[in-house]
Structures are given as C-alpha cells and as structure tokens.
C-alpha cells in the first residue's frame, strides 16, 4: 500500500531528513525541559515541553502521514528498516571514533549498536507473532467471502 500522496524521490528524502531534525528537536527540548524542571525553572520547562510537543505531534506526525508510515502492514517494515539503518550507522561511527581515538564516543555507539540489535530482534519477534495471530482471522474472512450466504 502506498501513501495517499504521491511523492517524488527528492520529496521523500527531504521529508525523511526533516523528520530526523524534528525528532532531534523533540528530544533536545524534552531533555532541556527535564533539566529546567530539576533547576526549579518550571515556566521554562513548560515552554520547552510545549515546543517539543509541537515538533512531534504537529510537524513529525504530518510528515510521517505523508510518507504513509502509519499504514497497516507497513509498521513492521518501517521499524525494522530504521533499526537496521541506525545499527549500521552506529557500527560505522563507532569504528571511525575508535580509529580517531575517541574511545568514549566509540563506547556509546557500540552500546547503541548492541541495544538496536536486541530491540530489533524483540520487535521482529513481536511483529511475527502479531502476523501469525492475524493469519487465521484473515483466512476465515477470505473463506466467508468465498462462500456466498444462502
């Protein structure tokens, strides 16, 4: 199933890059809000939370909708694809950091690689389990459609 809106290759790539920026802005604002709250600056914390919500619930969600990421059947593909990409990037960047002598960066990226691997395996298992649970229901619906009511 494709998105409701037909995207050009460049448009799709630009949306993905914009979504990365929105996700980064969301996370950064949430972390800053958390620190502001710890320092008893509740007004700033509230403003940062509102900004984070706008990045996620307005911008990111609209972009994801255009890409068709929330369509049924595409979620597992999207999650696994993104996890593989993050995993590959973490491995590459960890190796480069190690070569450059940035051992702390290499350690963090290697830990992320490990976490991504475990998370991807867990998600893959969960999606397969959901598919196997849905399969008998799908077959029953197909069988009912094949036999007209008398």
Residue position matching structure tokens 């973490």: 90
Cβ-contact 75, 56 below 8 angstroms: no
Each residue of 77-107: pLDDT tens digit?
Answer: 777 777 777 878 888 999 999 999 999 999 9
- Show contacts of 11-18: CB within 8 Å, 24+ apart: 12/67, 15/63, 15/66, 15/67, 16/67, 18/59, 18/63
Claim: this prediction has a pTM higher than 0.85: no
Domain definitions of the chain by residue range: 1-70, 72-150
């Amino acid at each position: 199933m494709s998105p409701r809106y037909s995207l050009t290759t460049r448009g799709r790539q630009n949306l993905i890059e914009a979504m990365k920026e929105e996700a980064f802005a969301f996370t950064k604002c949430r972390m800053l809000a958390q620190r502001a709250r710890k320092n008893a600056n509740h007004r700033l914390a509230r403003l940062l939370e509102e900004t984070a919500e706008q990045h996620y619930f307005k911008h990111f969600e609209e972009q994801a909708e255009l890409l068709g990421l929330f369509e049924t059947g595409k979620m597992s593909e999207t999650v696994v694809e993104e996890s593989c990409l993050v995993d590959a990037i973490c491995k590459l960047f960890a190796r480069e950091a190690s070569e450059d002598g940035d051992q702390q960066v290499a350690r963090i990226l290697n830990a992320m690689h490990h976490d991504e691997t475990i998370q991807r395996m867990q998600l893959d298992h969960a999606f397969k389990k959901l598919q196997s649970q849905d399969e008998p229901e799908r077959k029953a619906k197909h069988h009912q459609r094949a036999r007209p009511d008398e």
